[in-house]
Amino acid sequence: MAPHSAIQAIIDLSAGAIGGAACVFSGQPLDTAKVKMQTFPTLYRSFIHCLMSTYKQVGIRGLYQGTTPALMANIAENSVLFMSYGFCQQVIRFMAGLHSEAVLSDTQKACAGSVASIFSSLVLCPTELVKCRLQAMYEMEATGKVAKSQNTVWSVVKSIVRNEGPLGFFQGLTTTIAREVPGYFCFFGAYELSRTAFADYMKCDKDDIGVAPIVFSGGCGGACLWLVVFPMDCVKSRIQVMSMAGKQAGFFKTFMTIARTEGVRALYSGLTPTMVRTFPANGALFLGYEASRKLMMKHFDH
């Protein structure tokens, strides 16, 4: 017996939150390197150089800079994402005239994930803004773009409210949505396709493929997401970090400026740490999500 839709939503929300936390702990230092390299592409030779200099400057704490907002961002984003993903799958079943238990195709699931990402962007944008600013604070101070400031979550939040008002938290929202919608189509699409391939190969049900195939499928989903959206993510990081120093141009203008003045390669600054991070981080995300969801669903299968 399937659980009531409200309980189903709570299960998806909790499983998404557990997955989100697993994702942050396994990938935070590489995420810090990504944001630093996107915002200051000329400062670091490679992501190893970036990690080493961060470690030398601020110690291990520097690599986990922004972990609190990253945890908040990821838990909030993934709980809303997976809850909306459940709802959007029902909407697609309804629109396709299928009954509520029908199994969706991989493409239909990819569409559901794509629509779900619009809802998660609204939660993600403010927390990610705080995270990016914290991660790039050392470089912003070193290059004289902002005065020495308290680099704690609370001080960043206070300065946004004081200087930019409540709407300041949504700097880069358009870019976030522009990144998430195509990105999550690829993310869920590649994840489901990869799981289907494993299930066919192992001649078993998609839910029974085991730990390693789930982690690999999650990594594939993450890799496809980042390859598609990386330039947009780079623009978003720039807007969110540089807006500390004053009014920042919008998405299109920032995109064109980076491409014109620094070349297209700058839009891919920080891609290596992202690709290295995506397998453990997204593998952990889906493993946390699938395992905890299975566990919670068991209670309703009697």
183-226 pLDDT tens trace: 999 999 999 999 999 999 999 988 889 899 999 999 999 999 99
pLDDT value at residue 2: 61
Name the residue among 151, 160, 155, 156 with its Cα closest to residue 58: 151
pTM above 0.95, yes or no: no
pLDDT band at 288 (very low <50, low <70, confident <90, very high): very high
Bigger pLDDT: 199 or 1? 199
Q: Is residue 216 within 8 Å of residue 186, measured between CB atoms?
A: no
- Which sequence spans correspond to the domains of the chain? 181-269
Quick one: tokens of 257? 């400026």
pLDDT band at 301 (very low <50, low <70, confident <90, very high): low
164-169's contacts with Cβ under 8 Å and 24+ in sequence apart are 164/243, 168/243, 169/125, 169/126, 169/129, 169/130
Alpha-carbon distance of 21 to 184, in angstroms, equals: 19
* Interacting residues of 22 by C-beta distance below 8 A, sequence separation 6+: 284, 285, 287, 288
Mean pLDDT of 147-168: 84
Average pLDDT, the chain: 88
Q: Is residue 165 within 8 Å of residue 260, measured between CB atoms?
A: no
Quick one: tokens of 293? 């969801």
The packing angle between helices 271-298 and 47-58, to 10°, is: 80
